């Protein structure tokens, strides 16, 4: 430590204009009007340097810091003007409905949101009717169950947080409505997480009910691998490999968190076009209005 501080201060921190630091020479040569200030400044710089080096050395390098950052995947909607892949969103909804919905809610989505963007009204109604929703009270004051309607929200798999944790060994499956923008890395992270399960490296012991996933902060996740090849059968005949399902469900989750995605990009293009046109006009007008001022001549009479 002392050696490092010594080296640092000798090399960089205290090099002055007059050359390498040598205490006596400096204290003498910078005396004069500002002599004291220079000494204080140099002592200050040395202290800051020492504290910095000390802090750097005190930060431990942890062996558990082996989490992986998700790679950047070439999503088809990555471009400034690229829309979401509608067929993929539709398949992703199927993956969510048949796999993820067993544990994850999507409480900010209603069946009516599917109409027009993922499916037709008839299809969405059929999907809604598959679930039973509690409604009421009726005229006798009792709650009753009825088939779902377009205005109903997606059903939650568990009645409350406690039930969800109890069924999942203490881990809470988060609501997936906004999971993509809620996680650093967005859909890259979710895709890497879904496809990234592997054997825990030697020396890492996992508690019962936890699985090793290097993309999950900490490495031990309470969600069992949810996707594998042929986990579902796509209605459009696409081969349902694990990575295909993961890709589709990620695009679906992006759509769910940002249904205005395509329109936003369209509006962006329009805004750029309109504003650049207006910029040109305002530049011309400015030149026009200022031309009188810019070209006038001020003459002072004696
Ligand atoms: C068997 C239940 C179960 C299924 C099925 C399931 N999950 Fe999970 N999921 C969980 C649990 C439990 C957690 C919380 C894990 C934790 O905090 O350790 C979780 C966490 C997550 C997370 C959040 C990770 C984080 O960074 O906090 C995402 C994203 C996720 N699941 C996506 C999915 C997707 C997409 C599917 C469907 C393909 C799916 N899950 C299917 C149980 C499940």
Residue nearest to atom 14 of ligand 1 (CA): 173
pLDDT digit string, tens, across residues 1-16: 454 544 444 444 444 4
Q: Which of 99, 103, 161 to mutate to test the pocket of ligand 1 (most atoms within 8 A of CB)?
A: 103
pLDDT in tens, 235-275: 999 999 999 999 999 999 999 999 999 999 999 999 999 99
List strand residue ranges (DSSP E) for the chain, in order. 132-135, 144-147, 211-212, 220-221
Question: Which atom from ligand 1 is nearest to the alpha carbon of 246?
Answer: 38
Per the annotation, binding residues are 100, 103-104, 223
| Cβ contacts of 20 within 8 Å, gap of 6 or more | 10
Q: What is the reported pLDDT for 205?
A: 87
Atom in ligand 1 nearest the alpha carbon of residue 245: 38
Does the pLDDT of residue 19 top 90, yes or no? no
How far is the C-alpha of 132 from the C-alpha of 107, rounded, in Å? 16
Question: What band does 67 get if pLDDT is binned at 50, 70 and 90?
Answer: confident
C-beta neighbour count of 28 within 10 angstroms: 11
List, in sequence order, every residue forming a beta bridge with 153; answer none if it has no partner: 110
Q: Please, which pLDDT band fits residue 298 given cuts at 50, 70 and 90?
A: confident
In degrees and rounded to multiples of 5, residue 110 shows phi and psi of -110, 160
Arithmetic mean of pLDDT, 20-36: 50
Token look-up 């209603």 returns 110
pLDDT 10s digits, 103-132: 999 999 999 999 998 999 999 999 999 999
Q: What number of other Cβ atoms are within 10 A of residue 108's Cβ?
A: 14
Q: Is 298 exposed, middle or buried (0-12, 13-18, 19+ CB in 10 A)?
A: exposed
Residue-wise pLDDT tens digits, 165-187:
999 999 999 999 999 999 999 99
Measured in angstroms, how far is the CA atom of residue 219 from the centroid of ligand 1?
14
Largest CA distance in the chain: 102
């Amino acid at each position: 430590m002392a050696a490092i501080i010594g080296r640092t201060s000798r090399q960089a921190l205290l090099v002055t204009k007059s050359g390498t630091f040598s205490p006596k020479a400096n204290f003498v040569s910078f005396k004069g009007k500002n002599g004291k200030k220079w000494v204080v400044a140099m002592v200050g710089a040395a202290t800051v340097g020492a504290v910095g080096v000390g802090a750097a050395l005190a930060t431990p390098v942890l062996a558990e810091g082996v989490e992986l950052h998700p790679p950047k995947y070439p999503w088809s909607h990555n471009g400034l003007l690229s829309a979401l892949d509608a067929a993929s969103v539709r398949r992703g909804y199927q993956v969510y409905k048949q796999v993820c919905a067993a544990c994850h809610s999507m409480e900010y989505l209603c069946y009516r949101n599917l109409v027009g963007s993922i499916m037709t009204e008839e299809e969405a109604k059929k999907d809604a009717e598959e679930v039973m929703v509690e409604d009421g009270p009726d005229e006798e004051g009792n709650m009753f169950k009825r088939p779902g309607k377009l205005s109903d929200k997606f059903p939650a798999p568990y009645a409350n947080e406690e039930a969800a944790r109890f069924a999942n060994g203490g881990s809470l499956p988060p609501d997936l409505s906004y999971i993509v923008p809620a996680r650093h890395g967005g859909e890259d992270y979710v895709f890497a997480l879904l496809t990234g399960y592997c054997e825990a490296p030697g020396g890492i012991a996992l508690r019962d009910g936890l699985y090793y996933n290097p993309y999950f902060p900490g490495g031990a996740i309470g969600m069992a691998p949810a996707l594998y090849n042929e986990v579902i059968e796509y209605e459009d005949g696409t081969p349902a490999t694990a990575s295909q399902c993961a890709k589709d469900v990620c695009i679906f989750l992006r759509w769910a968190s940002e249904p205005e995605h395509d329109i936003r990009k369209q509006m962006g293009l329009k805004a750029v076009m309109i504003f650049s046109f207006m910029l040109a006009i305002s530049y011309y007008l400015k030149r026009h209005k200022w031309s009188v001022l810019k070209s006038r001549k001020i003459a002072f009479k004696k």
